[in-house]
Chains A and B, each alone.
Chain A
Amino acid sequence: MLPTNFDTLIADRPDLATVLTGVASWIKHHPDWEIIDPRELSRSLTDADAWALATALRLLCDKGFFRQVYMVVAPSGVLADGKYDDPRRIPVRVADRWNQYFETAEADIVAVLEARK
Protein backbone atom coordinates (compact mmCIF):
# COMPACT_ATOMS: atom_id res chain seq x y z
CA MET A 1 0.00 0.00 0.00
CA LEU A 2 1.09 3.55 -0.61
CA PRO A 3 2.36 5.54 2.42
CA THR A 4 -0.35 7.12 4.58
CA ASN A 5 1.38 8.39 7.71
CA PHE A 6 1.56 12.14 7.14
CA ASP A 7 1.26 13.15 10.83
CA THR A 8 4.54 15.08 10.97
CA LEU A 9 3.67 16.83 7.76
CA ILE A 10 0.20 17.72 9.02
CA ALA A 11 1.78 19.22 12.15
CA ASP A 12 4.13 21.27 10.00
CA ARG A 13 1.45 22.47 7.58
CA PRO A 14 -1.81 22.95 9.46
CA ASP A 15 -3.13 24.97 6.52
CA LEU A 16 -3.07 21.76 4.44
CA ALA A 17 -4.12 19.41 7.29
CA THR A 18 -7.63 18.78 5.99
CA VAL A 19 -6.44 17.97 2.48
CA LEU A 20 -3.55 15.77 3.68
CA THR A 21 -5.92 13.85 5.98
CA GLY A 22 -8.26 13.43 3.04
CA VAL A 23 -5.40 12.09 0.87
CA ALA A 24 -4.36 9.61 3.60
CA SER A 25 -7.94 8.45 3.95
CA TRP A 26 -8.30 8.03 0.16
CA ILE A 27 -5.14 5.87 0.04
CA LYS A 28 -6.44 3.67 2.86
CA HIS A 29 -9.64 3.13 0.91
CA HIS A 30 -7.67 2.21 -2.22
CA PRO A 31 -5.07 -0.26 -0.86
CA ASP A 32 -4.47 -1.87 -4.27
CA TRP A 33 -3.54 1.30 -6.08
CA GLU A 34 0.10 1.70 -7.01
CA ILE A 35 -0.25 5.34 -7.91
CA ILE A 36 -2.25 8.37 -6.79
CA ASP A 37 -4.23 9.56 -9.77
CA PRO A 38 -5.11 13.21 -8.95
CA ARG A 39 -8.16 12.96 -11.21
CA GLU A 40 -9.67 10.20 -9.08
CA LEU A 41 -8.52 11.85 -5.88
CA SER A 42 -10.07 15.20 -6.76
CA ARG A 43 -13.35 13.53 -7.66
CA SER A 44 -13.40 11.99 -4.17
CA LEU A 45 -12.27 15.11 -2.31
CA THR A 46 -14.82 17.33 -3.99
CA ASP A 47 -14.73 20.01 -1.29
CA ALA A 48 -10.96 20.39 -1.44
CA ASP A 49 -9.79 23.43 -3.31
CA ALA A 50 -7.88 22.50 -6.48
CA TRP A 51 -5.00 24.74 -5.53
CA ALA A 52 -4.75 23.30 -1.99
CA LEU A 53 -4.92 19.76 -3.35
CA ALA A 54 -2.17 20.35 -5.90
CA THR A 55 0.00 22.06 -3.25
CA ALA A 56 -0.51 19.18 -0.81
CA LEU A 57 0.43 16.59 -3.44
CA ARG A 58 3.55 18.54 -4.36
CA LEU A 59 4.44 18.69 -0.66
CA LEU A 60 4.20 14.90 -0.43
CA CYS A 61 6.67 14.70 -3.31
CA ASP A 62 9.03 17.28 -1.81
CA LYS A 63 9.08 15.41 1.51
CA GLY A 64 10.05 12.18 -0.21
CA PHE A 65 6.85 10.15 0.12
CA PHE A 66 6.14 10.12 -3.58
CA ARG A 67 7.56 11.21 -6.89
CA GLN A 68 5.65 12.89 -9.67
CA VAL A 69 5.56 11.08 -12.99
CA TYR A 70 3.54 11.47 -16.15
CA MET A 71 1.25 9.01 -17.86
CA VAL A 72 -0.73 9.13 -21.10
CA VAL A 73 -4.44 8.50 -21.45
CA ALA A 74 -5.06 5.99 -24.23
CA PRO A 75 -7.96 6.51 -26.69
CA SER A 76 -9.92 3.91 -24.68
CA GLY A 77 -9.78 6.28 -21.70
CA VAL A 78 -7.48 4.20 -19.49
CA LEU A 79 -3.92 5.09 -18.63
CA ALA A 80 -1.24 3.47 -20.77
CA ASP A 81 1.40 1.60 -18.75
CA GLY A 82 4.39 3.85 -19.46
CA LYS A 83 5.48 6.30 -16.75
CA TYR A 84 7.75 9.20 -17.61
CA ASP A 85 9.77 11.42 -15.27
CA ASP A 86 9.52 14.28 -17.71
CA PRO A 87 6.58 14.96 -20.06
CA ARG A 88 9.07 15.85 -22.80
CA ARG A 89 10.21 12.20 -22.82
CA ILE A 90 6.81 10.89 -23.84
CA PRO A 91 7.32 9.15 -27.20
CA VAL A 92 5.37 10.05 -30.34
CA ARG A 93 3.62 6.66 -30.24
CA VAL A 94 2.99 4.46 -27.22
CA ALA A 95 1.27 1.13 -26.66
CA ASP A 96 -1.91 0.82 -24.62
CA ARG A 97 -2.57 -2.10 -22.28
CA TRP A 98 -3.60 -4.29 -25.18
CA ASN A 99 -0.43 -3.47 -27.07
CA GLN A 100 -2.24 -1.29 -29.57
CA TYR A 101 -0.09 1.72 -30.52
CA PHE A 102 -1.57 5.23 -30.58
CA GLU A 103 -0.29 8.73 -31.32
CA THR A 104 0.37 10.81 -28.21
CA ALA A 105 0.07 14.24 -29.88
CA GLU A 106 -3.64 14.44 -29.09
CA ALA A 107 -3.58 12.38 -25.88
CA ASP A 108 -4.25 13.75 -22.40
CA ILE A 109 -1.17 13.88 -20.19
CA VAL A 110 -1.81 13.13 -16.54
CA ALA A 111 0.51 13.97 -13.66
CA VAL A 112 0.38 11.09 -11.15
CA LEU A 113 2.22 10.24 -7.93
CA GLU A 114 3.97 6.93 -7.33
CA ALA A 115 5.62 5.81 -4.12
CA ARG A 116 9.31 6.58 -3.96
CA LYS A 117 11.24 3.33 -3.93
Chain B
Amino acid sequence: MSQERSVSPTDEELLGEMRQLAISIQNNPSQKLKIVTDWYEQKLRTSGPQKAELGLLLLTILNARDSPKIEAVAEKPVVISLHGIRTRGDWQKQLSSALSREGFVYEPLDYGFFRAIQLVLPFMRERKMKWFLDQYNAVTKGYYNPPSIIAHSFGTYLVARTLGKYAELKFDHVIFCGSIVEIAYPWTRIADSFQVTRVLNDYGGRDFWAKTAVFFVNDAGPSGAKGFQDCAGGRVINRHRPEFRHSDFFYPSNYERTWIPFLSGNDPAPLAATEPRKANWKFRIVVAALAASALLLAYFLHAFWK
Protein backbone atom coordinates (compact mmCIF):
# COMPACT_ATOMS: atom_id res chain seq x y z
CA MET B 1 0.00 0.00 0.00
CA SER B 2 3.06 2.18 0.04
CA GLN B 3 2.51 5.28 -2.03
CA GLU B 4 4.64 8.01 -3.48
CA ARG B 5 4.15 11.21 -1.55
CA SER B 6 3.44 14.14 -3.77
CA VAL B 7 2.83 17.20 -1.66
CA SER B 8 2.74 20.74 -2.87
CA PRO B 9 4.89 23.45 -1.24
CA THR B 10 1.87 24.69 0.73
CA ASP B 11 1.16 21.16 1.91
CA GLU B 12 4.80 20.79 2.92
CA GLU B 13 4.30 23.98 4.91
CA LEU B 14 1.29 22.42 6.66
CA LEU B 15 3.39 19.37 7.55
CA GLY B 16 6.01 21.75 8.96
CA GLU B 17 3.36 23.52 11.00
CA MET B 18 2.16 20.20 12.41
CA ARG B 19 5.72 19.41 13.39
CA GLN B 20 5.99 22.74 15.20
CA LEU B 21 2.62 22.17 16.84
CA ALA B 22 3.67 18.75 18.13
CA ILE B 23 6.91 20.23 19.50
CA SER B 24 4.98 23.07 21.22
CA ILE B 25 2.63 20.53 22.77
CA GLN B 26 5.55 18.43 23.93
CA ASN B 27 7.15 21.47 25.55
CA ASN B 28 3.89 22.70 27.16
CA PRO B 29 1.74 19.65 27.86
CA SER B 30 -0.47 21.61 30.27
CA GLN B 31 -1.47 23.93 27.41
CA LYS B 32 -2.29 21.18 24.90
CA LEU B 33 -5.87 22.22 24.16
CA LYS B 34 -5.01 25.91 23.97
CA ILE B 35 -2.10 25.31 21.57
CA VAL B 36 -4.31 23.22 19.27
CA THR B 37 -7.25 25.61 19.30
CA ASP B 38 -5.03 28.69 18.83
CA TRP B 39 -3.45 27.08 15.77
CA TYR B 40 -6.88 26.03 14.48
CA GLU B 41 -8.27 29.54 14.85
CA GLN B 42 -5.28 31.10 13.12
CA LYS B 43 -5.43 28.55 10.30
CA LEU B 44 -9.15 29.18 9.84
CA ARG B 45 -8.39 32.87 9.40
CA THR B 46 -5.37 32.54 7.12
CA SER B 47 -6.13 29.46 5.00
CA GLY B 48 -9.77 28.53 5.60
CA PRO B 49 -11.53 25.51 7.11
CA GLN B 50 -10.16 22.95 4.60
CA LYS B 51 -6.56 23.37 5.71
CA ALA B 52 -7.49 23.72 9.38
CA GLU B 53 -9.46 20.45 9.37
CA LEU B 54 -6.80 18.65 7.32
CA GLY B 55 -4.10 19.83 9.72
CA LEU B 56 -5.85 18.41 12.79
CA LEU B 57 -6.51 15.10 11.01
CA LEU B 58 -2.85 14.93 10.10
CA LEU B 59 -1.80 15.74 13.67
CA THR B 60 -4.03 12.94 14.98
CA ILE B 61 -2.46 10.45 12.56
CA LEU B 62 1.13 11.56 13.15
CA ASN B 63 0.71 11.41 16.91
CA ALA B 64 -0.76 7.92 16.72
CA ARG B 65 1.93 6.38 14.59
CA ASP B 66 4.78 4.44 16.06
CA SER B 67 7.09 5.28 13.18
CA PRO B 68 10.03 7.54 12.41
CA LYS B 69 7.50 10.28 11.67
CA ILE B 70 6.59 10.48 15.35
CA GLU B 71 10.25 10.87 16.21
CA ALA B 72 10.47 13.47 13.46
CA VAL B 73 7.58 15.32 15.04
CA ALA B 74 8.99 15.07 18.52
CA GLU B 75 12.70 15.64 17.98
CA LYS B 76 14.33 18.90 19.01
CA PRO B 77 15.13 21.12 16.03
CA VAL B 78 18.80 21.56 15.14
CA VAL B 79 20.25 25.00 14.37
CA ILE B 80 23.64 25.42 12.70
CA SER B 81 25.52 28.72 12.58
CA LEU B 82 28.27 29.75 10.22
CA HIS B 83 30.53 32.79 10.60
CA GLY B 84 32.17 35.08 8.01
CA ILE B 85 35.77 35.80 7.07
CA ARG B 86 38.39 37.47 9.26
CA THR B 87 36.49 36.40 12.39
CA ARG B 88 35.89 33.30 14.47
CA GLY B 89 32.29 34.30 15.14
CA ASP B 90 32.01 35.48 18.77
CA TRP B 91 28.31 36.01 18.06
CA GLN B 92 27.97 32.27 17.63
CA LYS B 93 28.88 31.82 21.28
CA GLN B 94 26.36 34.50 22.35
CA LEU B 95 23.63 32.68 20.46
CA SER B 96 24.30 29.44 22.25
CA SER B 97 22.48 30.15 25.50
CA ALA B 98 19.52 31.87 23.80
CA LEU B 99 18.95 28.90 21.47
CA SER B 100 19.48 26.25 24.13
CA ARG B 101 16.99 28.01 26.41
CA GLU B 102 14.34 27.68 23.69
CA GLY B 103 14.97 23.96 23.23
CA PHE B 104 17.08 24.00 20.07
CA VAL B 105 20.08 21.76 19.54
CA TYR B 106 22.80 24.22 18.57
CA GLU B 107 25.80 23.41 16.36
CA PRO B 108 28.10 26.40 15.73
CA LEU B 109 30.49 25.62 12.87
CA ASP B 110 33.96 27.10 12.77
CA TYR B 111 36.17 26.90 9.68
CA GLY B 112 38.94 28.90 11.26
CA PHE B 113 40.28 32.32 10.41
CA PHE B 114 39.67 32.76 6.67
CA ARG B 115 41.73 35.62 5.24
CA ALA B 116 40.38 38.09 2.68
CA ILE B 117 42.96 36.95 0.13
CA GLN B 118 41.68 33.37 0.47
CA LEU B 119 38.18 34.59 -0.35
CA VAL B 120 39.38 35.82 -3.73
CA LEU B 121 40.73 32.42 -4.76
CA PRO B 122 38.03 30.18 -6.29
CA PHE B 123 39.69 26.90 -5.29
CA MET B 124 39.85 28.04 -1.66
CA ARG B 125 36.14 28.80 -1.71
CA GLU B 126 35.47 25.38 -3.28
CA ARG B 127 37.47 23.75 -0.53
CA LYS B 128 35.34 25.49 2.11
CA MET B 129 32.15 24.33 0.37
CA LYS B 130 33.34 20.73 0.60
CA TRP B 131 34.20 21.30 4.26
CA PHE B 132 30.72 22.71 4.87
CA LEU B 133 29.06 19.73 3.15
CA ASP B 134 31.02 17.33 5.35
CA GLN B 135 30.03 19.28 8.48
CA TYR B 136 26.38 19.29 7.38
CA ASN B 137 26.43 15.51 6.95
CA ALA B 138 28.05 15.03 10.35
CA VAL B 139 25.63 17.35 12.17
CA THR B 140 22.46 15.95 10.59
CA LYS B 141 23.36 12.29 11.06
CA GLY B 142 20.64 10.58 13.08
CA TYR B 143 18.09 13.36 12.69
CA TYR B 144 14.89 13.06 10.64
CA ASN B 145 14.24 16.76 10.14
CA PRO B 146 16.50 19.13 8.24
CA PRO B 147 18.36 21.67 10.41
CA SER B 148 17.92 25.43 10.33
CA ILE B 149 20.92 27.68 9.74
CA ILE B 150 22.09 31.17 10.67
CA ALA B 151 24.88 32.47 8.45
CA HIS B 152 26.84 35.70 8.24
CA SER B 153 28.87 37.19 5.37
CA PHE B 154 31.02 34.47 3.73
CA GLY B 155 28.88 31.94 5.60
CA THR B 156 25.89 33.05 3.50
CA TYR B 157 27.95 32.53 0.34
CA LEU B 158 28.86 29.00 1.44
CA VAL B 159 25.22 28.14 2.21
CA ALA B 160 23.87 29.55 -1.07
CA ARG B 161 26.55 27.97 -3.27
CA THR B 162 26.35 24.59 -1.53
CA LEU B 163 22.52 24.58 -1.80
CA GLY B 164 22.85 25.33 -5.51
CA LYS B 165 25.39 22.59 -6.09
CA TYR B 166 24.03 19.77 -3.91
CA ALA B 167 20.28 19.12 -4.22
CA GLU B 168 20.47 16.75 -1.23
CA LEU B 169 21.24 19.64 1.11
CA LYS B 170 18.08 20.75 2.92
CA PHE B 171 17.38 23.36 5.57
CA ASP B 172 14.24 24.20 7.46
CA HIS B 173 14.64 27.90 8.27
CA VAL B 174 17.53 29.95 6.89
CA ILE B 175 18.68 33.26 8.39
CA PHE B 176 21.17 35.40 6.47
CA CYS B 177 22.80 38.59 7.71
CA GLY B 178 25.54 40.59 6.02
CA SER B 179 24.88 38.41 2.99
CA ILE B 180 27.29 38.48 0.04
CA VAL B 181 25.03 36.34 -2.17
CA GLU B 182 23.84 37.78 -5.49
CA ILE B 183 20.48 39.58 -5.27
CA ALA B 184 19.02 37.43 -8.10
CA TYR B 185 19.66 34.15 -6.22
CA PRO B 186 17.01 31.63 -7.42
CA TRP B 187 15.15 31.08 -4.15
CA THR B 188 11.98 29.93 -5.94
CA ARG B 189 13.82 26.98 -7.48
CA ILE B 190 15.52 26.15 -4.17
CA ALA B 191 12.27 26.40 -2.16
CA ASP B 192 10.19 24.54 -4.77
CA SER B 193 12.60 21.62 -4.56
CA PHE B 194 12.07 21.61 -0.76
CA GLN B 195 15.68 22.53 0.00
CA VAL B 196 14.51 25.35 2.28
CA THR B 197 11.22 26.10 4.04
CA ARG B 198 11.62 29.81 4.75
CA VAL B 199 14.40 32.39 4.54
CA LEU B 200 14.95 35.56 6.55
CA ASN B 201 17.45 38.00 5.06
CA ASP B 202 18.45 40.64 7.61
CA TYR B 203 20.17 43.31 5.52
CA GLY B 204 21.70 46.67 6.27
CA GLY B 205 21.73 49.86 4.25
CA ARG B 206 25.28 50.70 5.32
CA ASP B 207 26.88 47.30 4.75
CA PHE B 208 30.13 48.20 2.98
CA TRP B 209 31.38 44.60 2.66
CA ALA B 210 28.15 43.33 1.14
CA LYS B 211 28.34 46.10 -1.46
CA THR B 212 31.98 45.51 -2.35
CA ALA B 213 32.24 41.69 -2.26
CA VAL B 214 31.12 41.52 -5.89
CA PHE B 215 34.35 43.27 -6.93
CA PHE B 216 36.47 40.45 -5.51
CA VAL B 217 34.30 37.36 -5.86
CA ASN B 218 32.90 36.53 -9.28
CA ASP B 219 29.59 35.04 -8.13
CA ALA B 220 28.98 37.20 -5.04
CA GLY B 221 26.44 40.03 -4.75
CA PRO B 222 25.08 42.76 -2.49
CA SER B 223 21.97 41.03 -1.04
CA GLY B 224 23.26 42.02 2.40
CA ALA B 225 22.78 45.67 1.39
CA LYS B 226 19.90 45.49 -1.09
CA GLY B 227 17.90 42.37 -0.27
CA PHE B 228 16.89 39.51 -2.57
CA GLN B 229 14.77 40.02 -5.69
CA ASP B 230 13.33 36.49 -5.83
CA CYS B 231 11.22 36.13 -2.69
CA ALA B 232 9.83 32.70 -3.69
CA GLY B 233 6.21 33.71 -3.25
CA GLY B 234 6.69 35.09 0.26
CA ARG B 235 8.95 32.30 1.49
CA VAL B 236 11.90 34.71 1.55
CA ILE B 237 11.56 37.68 3.88
CA ASN B 238 13.82 40.68 3.34
CA ARG B 239 14.20 42.70 6.53
CA HIS B 240 15.78 46.07 5.86
CA ARG B 241 17.80 47.88 8.54
CA PRO B 242 18.80 51.18 6.91
CA GLU B 243 21.39 52.09 9.54
CA PHE B 244 23.03 48.68 9.93
CA ARG B 245 26.59 47.88 8.93
CA HIS B 246 28.01 44.44 8.15
CA SER B 247 28.07 43.05 11.68
CA ASP B 248 25.38 45.09 13.45
CA PHE B 249 22.93 42.19 13.65
CA PHE B 250 24.52 40.48 16.61
CA TYR B 251 22.76 41.52 19.80
CA PRO B 252 20.54 39.59 22.20
CA SER B 253 17.20 41.26 21.49
CA ASN B 254 17.61 40.56 17.77
CA TYR B 255 18.15 36.89 18.58
CA GLU B 256 15.28 36.74 21.06
CA ARG B 257 12.68 38.85 19.26
CA THR B 258 13.42 38.12 15.62
CA TRP B 259 15.64 35.13 14.93
CA ILE B 260 14.43 32.60 17.49
CA PRO B 261 10.70 33.27 16.82
CA PHE B 262 11.46 32.90 13.10
CA LEU B 263 13.22 29.58 13.73
CA SER B 264 10.10 28.52 15.67
CA GLY B 265 7.87 29.26 12.70
CA ASN B 266 6.79 32.84 13.44
CA ASP B 267 7.59 35.51 10.88
CA PRO B 268 8.96 38.72 12.38
CA ALA B 269 6.67 41.73 12.56
CA PRO B 270 7.38 44.24 9.80
CA LEU B 271 9.75 47.02 10.78
CA ALA B 272 8.47 50.58 10.78
CA ALA B 273 9.51 52.25 7.53
CA THR B 274 12.46 54.53 8.11
CA GLU B 275 13.81 57.12 5.74
CA PRO B 276 17.54 57.00 5.04
CA ARG B 277 19.32 59.50 7.24
CA LYS B 278 19.78 62.82 5.42
CA ALA B 279 23.32 64.12 4.98
CA ASN B 280 24.24 66.82 7.51
CA TRP B 281 25.79 69.36 5.12
CA LYS B 282 26.59 71.84 7.89
CA PHE B 283 28.74 69.26 9.64
CA ARG B 284 30.39 68.20 6.38
CA ILE B 285 31.24 71.81 5.51
CA VAL B 286 32.88 72.28 8.91
CA VAL B 287 34.90 69.05 8.47
CA ALA B 288 35.90 70.09 4.93
CA ALA B 289 36.89 73.55 6.18
CA LEU B 290 38.97 72.04 9.00
CA ALA B 291 40.66 69.67 6.58
CA ALA B 292 41.40 72.52 4.16
CA SER B 293 42.78 74.63 7.04
CA ALA B 294 45.01 71.75 8.14
CA LEU B 295 46.33 71.35 4.60
CA LEU B 296 46.97 75.07 4.27
CA LEU B 297 48.73 75.12 7.64
CA ALA B 298 50.86 72.15 6.61
CA TYR B 299 51.69 73.90 3.35
CA PHE B 300 52.74 77.14 5.09
CA LEU B 301 54.74 75.28 7.72
CA HIS B 302 56.48 73.33 5.00
CA ALA B 303 57.22 76.58 3.07
CA PHE B 304 58.41 78.29 6.29
CA TRP B 305 60.86 75.52 7.26
CA LYS B 306 62.22 75.25 3.70
Contact = CB atoms under 8 A, between A and B. Distances in A.
B57 A42 contact: no
Given A43-B65, A54-B58, A111-B56, A49 B3 contact: yes
B30 interface: yes
B31 A105 contact: yes
Interface string A39-56: 110110111111111110
Interface residues of B, number: 34
20 contacts: A15-B3, A18-B3, A19-B3, A22-B1, A38-B64, A39-B61, A40-B64, A45-B1, A47-B2, A50-B69, A51-B7, A51-B58, A53-B61, A54-B61, A68-B53, A90-B33, A105-B33, A106-B29, A106-B33, A108-B32
B150 interface: no
A57 B66 CA distance: 20
Given A88-B41, A105-B34, A106-B32, A47 B61 contact: no
Given A50-B62, A51-B11, A105-B33, A111 B3 contact: no
Contacts of B30: 105-106
A47 B1 contact: yes
A70 B65 contact: no
Contact of A107 (B3, B33, B61, B65): B33
Contacts, number: 98
Nearest to B73: A50
B37 interface: yes
Contacts of B53: 58, 61, 68, 111
B117 to A, nearest CB: 50
Contacts of A48: 1-3
Contact of B57 (A47, A57, A108): A57
A111 B55 CA distance: 10
Interface in A43-83: 43, 45-55, 57-58, 61-62, 68, 70
Chain B at the A interface: SS class: helix
A101 B270 CA distance: 45
Contact of A111 (B31, B60, B65, B66): B60
A2 B73 CA distance: 31
Contact of A50 (B2, B37, B61): B61
A35 interface: no
Interface residues of A, number: 39
B1 A38 contact: no
Interface string B67-100: 1010000000000000000000000000000000
A52 B3 CA distance: 8
Nearest to A92: B33
Contacts of A90: 33, 37
A44 to B, nearest CB: 10
B289 interface: no
Contacts of B3: 15, 18-19, 48-49, 52
B34 A42 contact: no
B65 A50 contact: yes
B214 interface: no
B34 A54 contact: no
B139 interface: no
B9 to A, nearest CB: 13
Contacts of B56: 68, 70, 87, 109, 111
Contact of A58 (B6, B34, B54): B54
Given A40-B64, A111-B57, 4 more contacts: A43-B66, A54-B57, A87-B40, A111-B60
Nearest to A67: B53
A102 to B, nearest CB: 12
A95 interface: no
A41 to B, nearest CB: 8
Nearest to B28: A106
A111 B57 CA distance: 5
